[in-house]
């Protein structure tokens, strides 16, 4: 991971990659989320040689069908194809967890397409029920994990 660097970015910087890697069929305005304007949200970019190659956002939001009051949602974690399989996604996810942990989050969740479910499973997330059909994106799983105290490793060995 020495070649990569994580930096906080503005939500506007995340939008082109969100669209290119996750929401090609949606107009640019559709990836300007209301949560982007939440002052508690964090947007992280992974950079290689100054170029943005991965993004992730996280913000407080209740998890569907869960009474958990301190829930945080990861939105649009994505890594450019040529940079996948090198730990960048895991690093971005770790940074999201850290952000939720420093703000006393207790659970973190996300919706994911079936193809990326294995990534979250590998990262220690569980599935909350069967997939839900999204008219634009196809079947989507809701996945979640406990937010560990900062000093504890959350990733499966
Ligand atoms: C999902 C995604 C962010 C993973 O990024 P990545 O940088 O390739 O992930 P990493 O290299 O950090 O992988 C971490 C671990 O997860 C595993 N993994 C990654 N993607 C996986 C997948 N689709 N299925 C199963 N395991 C996967 C890796 O093998 C690695 O395991 P290891 O620790 O045993 O080596 C990337 O594939 C992506 O951008 N996908 C398209 C966007 C998307 O669907 N995002 C999720 C929904 S918002």
| CATH number for region 4-146 | 3.40.630.30
What's the pTM? Answer: 0.95
Residue nearest to atom 43 of ligand 1 (CA): 78
Burial of residue 157 (CB within 10 Å: 0-12, 13-18, 19+) is: exposed
Cα 133 to Cα 130: distance, rounded to the nearest angstrom: 10
User: Is residue 130 lining ligand 1, measured as CB closer than 6 Å?
Assistant: no
The DSSP element (H or E) to which 42 belongs, if any, is: strand 42-48
List, for residues 84-143, the tens digit of each pLDDT value: 999 999 999 999 999 999 999 999 999 999 999 999 999 999 999 899 998 878 899 999
List, for residues 22-42, the tens digit of each pLDDT value: 999 888 899 999 999 999 999
Residue nearest to atom 39 of ligand 1 (CA): 78
């Amino acid at each position: 991971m020495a070649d990569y660097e994580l930096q906080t970015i503005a939500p506007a910087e995340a939008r082109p990659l969100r669209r290119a890697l996750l929401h090609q069929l949606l107009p640019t305005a559709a990836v300007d989320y209301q949560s982007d304007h939440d002052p508690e949200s964090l947007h992280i970019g992974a950079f290689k040689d100054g170029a943005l190659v991965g993004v992730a956002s996280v913000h407080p939001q209740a998890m569907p069908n869960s009474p958990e009051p301190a829930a945080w949602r990861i939105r649009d974690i994505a890594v450019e194809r040529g940079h996948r399989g090198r730990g960048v996604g895991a690093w971005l996810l770790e940074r999201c967890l850290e952000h939720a942990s420093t703000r006393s989050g207790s659970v973190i969740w996300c919706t994911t397409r079936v193809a990326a479910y294995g990534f979250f499973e590998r990262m220690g997330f569980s599935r909350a029920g069967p997939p839900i059909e999204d008219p634009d994106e196809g079947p989507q799983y809701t996945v979640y994990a406990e937010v560990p105290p900062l000093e504890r490793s959350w990733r499966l060995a």
